[in-house]
Amino acid sequence: MNLPLWLYYVIGFPLLLGPLVTIHELGHYLVGRWFGVHAEAFSVGFGKEIWGFTDRRGTRWKLSVLPLGGYVQFKGDMNPASIPDPQAARHASAEEREGSFHHAALWKRALIVFAGPATNILLTLAIFAGFFAFYGKPVPADAEQQLAVAEFAEVSPAREAGIEVGDRIVAVEGERMEDFRDVQDSIMLYPGRTLDITVDRDGTERTFAVPVRSVEMEDRFGNVSKVGLIGIASGASAFEFEPQGVIASLGLAVDHSIGIVDMMVTGIGQIFTGERSVQELGGPVKIAKFSGEQLSLGGMAFINFVALISLNLAFINLLPIPALDGGHLAFYAAEAIRRKPVGPRGTEVAYRAGVALVLMLMVFVTINDLVHLPVFGN
């Protein structure tokens, strides 16, 4: 469709976030219902309700005004963040305990909380597995030539370090390489570092310490990202696609997802160590921008982006921050070890701090997104 880009933004963001939030919350809801826990409200979005209905089980299904997430509020929750009310839980009658989330067995509560991120992970695996099953597994047509250095860029740290044309790259930082994409993935995440690159030259392996250039690259939409380059070109670039069965496709999807998570952890770690700027963090505005851009590239690009954001959503929710799913799981782990719940005062302080941290992070990334929009002259 030849539509204005701004229209893709308007369509792409709700088309991305609405289903992902709904799937995430359905994971909580369905497992909770399976265990007999009553859901008082199921909301897509936060804040004031703009539309909704109450089903025969007494659950209020609604759309809310802020489309930046969602929640399931179970019986016994003090608020949509599922923060328990210790006083109410302690003095609850037998009738109030029936169907209450906080009176369910510990393992049931843990599974209900984990079900949200789990559904996002399953969605990601289903999309990636579908791609592998439909298209096949990409394998280099000539692996030997693909790993061989054919030429150097005008500025090439690899050449300066001693690597020569014809050398075949066999390992980066001790990790064996299967094709040139492995080499790219092993280098682009580490701009500014010096990496040990092992090559095969005339049957002998040699290792060179290669400083990685930090280069800012811009895509067709003007998005700038910092990547690492060493200034080499592959001797061959062709790939062939091997057909895959369902089980093999699922295994490839798991491997691919683990690789993405590893990249996310590496990137976050680099932000904490100062190797990357905090300006690389993105929030809802940047997600809306990227979703529209990917939608403009076609359905397959957008579905792939859905899988990436779904995996990101699961990863973020599993962080051990109170008020997120991972924070709840951390409290349940402490309860399992102590054989009793964390004290009401500690629970309240931790959850309030967690909510404050999440809100501050949301404000920061939103401002960060806004100041990088073209309308502000950047």
Tell me the residue length of the chain. Answer: 378
Quote the crossing angle between the two packed helices 284-296 and 344-371, to the nearest 10°.
Answer: 50
Pull the structure tokens for residue 27: 């994971």
The string of DSSP codes covering 123-186 is: HHHHHHHHHHHHH-EEEETTHHHHTBEEEE-SS-HHHHHT--TT-EEEEETTEEPSSHHHHHHH
Question: 172, 183 in Cβ contact below 8 A?
Answer: yes
DSSP for residue 77: B
Q: Which residues, other chains included, contact 371 with Cβ-Cβ below 8 Å and sequence gap of 6+? A: 378
Q: How many CB atoms lie within 10 A of CB 12?
A: 22
Question: 101, 109 in Cβ contact below 8 A?
Answer: yes
Question: 351, 83 in Cβ contact below 8 A?
Answer: yes
Q: Which helix (H) or strand (E) holds 339?
A: none
Pull the structure tokens for residue 72: 């399931």
Question: 329, 110 in Cβ contact below 8 A?
Answer: yes
- CA–CA separation, 23 vs 6, rounded Å? 26
Pull the structure tokens for residue 12: 């792409």
The question of whether 25 is a catalytic residue gets the answer yes
Q: Which residues, other chains included, contact 83 with Cβ-Cβ below 8 Å and sequence gap of 6+? A: 77, 323, 347, 348, 351
- Active-site residues, by number, are 25
